Structures are given as structure tokens and as C-alpha cells.
Amino acid sequence: MTVASRRLELTLLQERFAVCRLAPDAAIPSWATGGSFCSITRTAEELSILVEESRVPDGVTSQPNWRGFQARGPFAFSEVGVLASLTGPLAAKEISLFVISTFDTDYLLVSGKKLAAAIAALEHAGHAIHRSHSQ
């Protein structure tokens, strides 16, 4: 199967997320570890946190209004083209994204302002999008 012909099932997450930036030596704040989904990455340059938008306190450097898709996995580490099959259609429509990979699967986040266009692009590429119960 070629990357272009790969069809995946995605779940549109109901939460709205924010991507936050803290100093590289900052302690991981307690607000960052709650909620149904969070991702914390530390590099030499920053502490980056993805968390439900409602959990971010005032004064934190952040980009709010991100919506997420979960690729229905799990995927083996040897699988090729999972992300390419999803990012290609979005790039073709000039939709930027934020990607998080876990042991089992991948998450794509797009601006809430581009959500409808992202859904259309992914469905046009043959991917199935399942809405969570409150979507």
C-alpha cells in the first residue's frame, strides 16, 4: 500500500487544547498534568506543554484553540507512512499542525479556526473521522 492510498480512522477529540511554552529549567506545573490528555516535552531550549485550554493559568505563554485528532492505532514502530498519509492532505490545503506521537499512536492538532477545512481535507483523502459523543 502506498502512502497516498493509506486510509486511516481518526477520532476527533472533544477538548480544546493550548500549546504552552515555559523556560527550559521550569518545574512541571501541577496544572499541566491534569485533564484527559496532556503532553510534556523538555528540551535544552524550552518546556513545551500541550494541555486542555481551560487548565492554562493567566500569564502563561501559550497558543490556545487547538483541536485534536487521534489516529486509531496501535501502530507498529516498523509501519511507514502513517503520519505522511495524514499530513500530506493538510499541507496541500495549507493547514499547519502540531503532532504528538505516543507509543501506540499519533495525534494531530490543528487550529480550531481550520478544523472544518482539516476535516474536509482528511475525509477527501479517504480517512474516516469519528466524532466523540459530544461532537
- One-letter amino acid identity for 9? E
Sequential DSSP letters for 123-134: HHTT-EEEE-TT
Residue 109 has pLDDT above 50, yes or no: yes
Cβ-based neighbour number of residue 53 at 10 Å: 18
Burial of residue 111 (number of CB atoms within 10 Å: 0-12, 13-18, 19+): middle
Residue 135 has pLDDT above 50, yes or no: no
Residues 93-108 pLDDT 10s? 999 999 999 998 899 9
Domain ranges of the chain: 9-130
pTM above 0.85, yes or no: yes
CATH numeric code, 9-130 = 3.30.2130.10
Residue 115 has pLDDT above 90, yes or no: yes
* 69 neighbors 59 (Cβ within 8 angstroms): no
Residues 52-94 pLDDT 10s? 999 999 999 999 999 999 998 777 777 777 888 999 999 999 9
